[in-house]
Amino acid sequence: MKNTLCFLGTDGFAATILERLLKEDGMKVLGVVTPLDARVGRKQVLTPCAVKQVALNAKLPLFEETSELLSLERPDFLVVVSYGYFLKEKILNFPKYLSLNVHASMLPKYRGASPIQTALLNGDAVSGVSIMEMVEKMDAGPVYAFAEVKIEEWHNAENLRTDMAKVGAELLVQALKGVVKGILEPQPQDESQATYSYKITRESGKINWSRETARKVVCKLKAYFPWPGVYTFFKGKRLKIHEAEVLRDDRVDANVVGAKGDSPGLVRHENNEFLVGTQDGFLVLKTVQEEGKKAIPISDFARGHADFVGSVL
């Protein structure tokens, strides 16, 4: 006999997990709740979210309000992933077993809206996925299972999210089986160790050259890819930075004065590299994008802007 569930979610992270559940012989998805279609792109075309697209392809019953689930047969589980809305107690208590959430951190670390970005922003070496029972307080329920995920040097928010979704999908399937068999014991979270991640806005990617180190800017490049991106201003226009790296100490030219925090925001050209001073160290610019134009190598940008070198961003 199959275990039944209802699924609530929106983005690609959640869609990966829904796809995995649909492949599991012992699971049956009774219905899926997703938000209304959103307008996307410059042409503002109404577009279904990633979870809705999976549900449509699988011909699953779709709902826009959680209250509509109450018309279905009572499921064994409610699975919530990247849904973004608080659920009422009546909905949380609807399933026979549990309402479970797949959260992209090692709870109680990084509760909240942006755990993956926050881990990258802080330069963490390891993150993880937690399977948590949902309670009315945000991300505070007991944890049924968790798995660590190593953060590699090449990870950014997009590809780390993809890797963590795959880990989370397998972990969820095993957790659901474990709950049914009664072999998993929930572990309460230590409230004294709880930390939070906050909602990201378009302004989150703005660089403060005098307060941020070169390493911090590189962490922001990883955390805010593909959105909102990292940017500064040149001559009053937004200049987006797509690629950059920290200037290593062994590459600092003896003629470059004050490698540790000299003239934050000042653009230099040394040894065929374009450097920007930060609070600590230099950022080496690689690829930039001027407002309203395409991304280009920094050398091409500087060639077209003779006053770039020597300016203060």
Q: What CATH number has the domain bearing residue 35? A: 3.40.50.170
Torsion 20-23-26-28 (CA) sign: positive
Q: Check whether residue 159 and residue 233 sit in a common domain.
A: no
What CA–CA distance (Å, rounded) separates 114 from 104?
9
**Statement to judge: residues 263 and 176 lie in one domain:** no
In a domain, 312, yes or no: no
293 vs 132: CA distance, rounded Å: 44
- Could you tell me if 133 and 249 lie in one domain? no
Domain span at residue 211 reads 202-304
Q: Does residue 47 sit in the same domain as residue 163?
A: yes
What is the model's pLDDT at position 252?
55
Average pLDDT over residues 273-278: 94
Question: Do residue 249 and residue 277 come from a single domain?
Answer: yes
309 is a domain residue: no
Looking at the fold, whether 165 and 291 belong to one and the same domain comes out as no
pLDDT of res. 286: 98
Beta bridge partners of 28: 4
Is residue 41 assigned to a domain?
Answer: yes
Give me the number of domains the chain comprises: 2
Q: Assess whether 12 and 33 both reside in one domain.
A: yes
Mean pLDDT is lowest, of 20-34, 38-52, 162-176, 292-306, for 38-52
Instruction: Identify whether 48 is preceded by a cis peptide bond (ω within 30 of 0).
Output: no
Residue 214's pLDDT band (boundaries 50, 70, 90)?
very high
The verdict on residue 311 lying in a domain is no
Tell whether 295 is covered by a domain: yes
**Residue that is last in its domain, among 163, 178, 197:** 197
User: Does residue 89 lie within any of the structural domains?
Assistant: yes
Whether 95 and 167 share a structural domain: yes
Q: Is residue 219 part of a domain?
A: yes
Rg (CA), the chain: 23
Residue 19: pLDDT band with limits 50, 70, 90: very high
Tell me the pLDDT tens digit for each residue of 82-105: 998 889 999 999 999 999 999 999
CB-based contacts of 33: which residues, under 8 Å, 6+ apart? 6, 7, 8, 62, 63, 64, 65, 66, 68, 69, 83
* Same domain, yes or no: 191 and 228: no
Domain end marker among 169, 197, 225 = 197
Question: Rounded CA gap, 256 and 282, in Å?
Answer: 10
Identify the CA nearest to 155 among candidates 192, 176, 124: 124
Task: Give the model's confidence band at 44: pLDDT under 50 very low, under 70 low, under 90 confident, else very high.
Answer: confident
- Asked whether residue 149 falls in the same domain as residue 239, the answer is no
pLDDT at 249: 65
* Same domain for 173 and 26: yes
Among 197, 218, 244, residue at a domain's last position: 197
Say what percent of the chain tops pLDDT 90: 87
Asked whether residue 172 falls in the same domain as residue 294, the answer is: no
| pTM of the complete model | 0.92
User: pLDDT value at position 34?
Assistant: 95
Write the CATH number for 211: 3.10.25.10
The answer as to whether 192 is a domain residue is yes
pLDDT band at 253 (very low <50, low <70, confident <90, very high): low
pLDDT of amino acid 43? 79
pLDDT at 258: 47
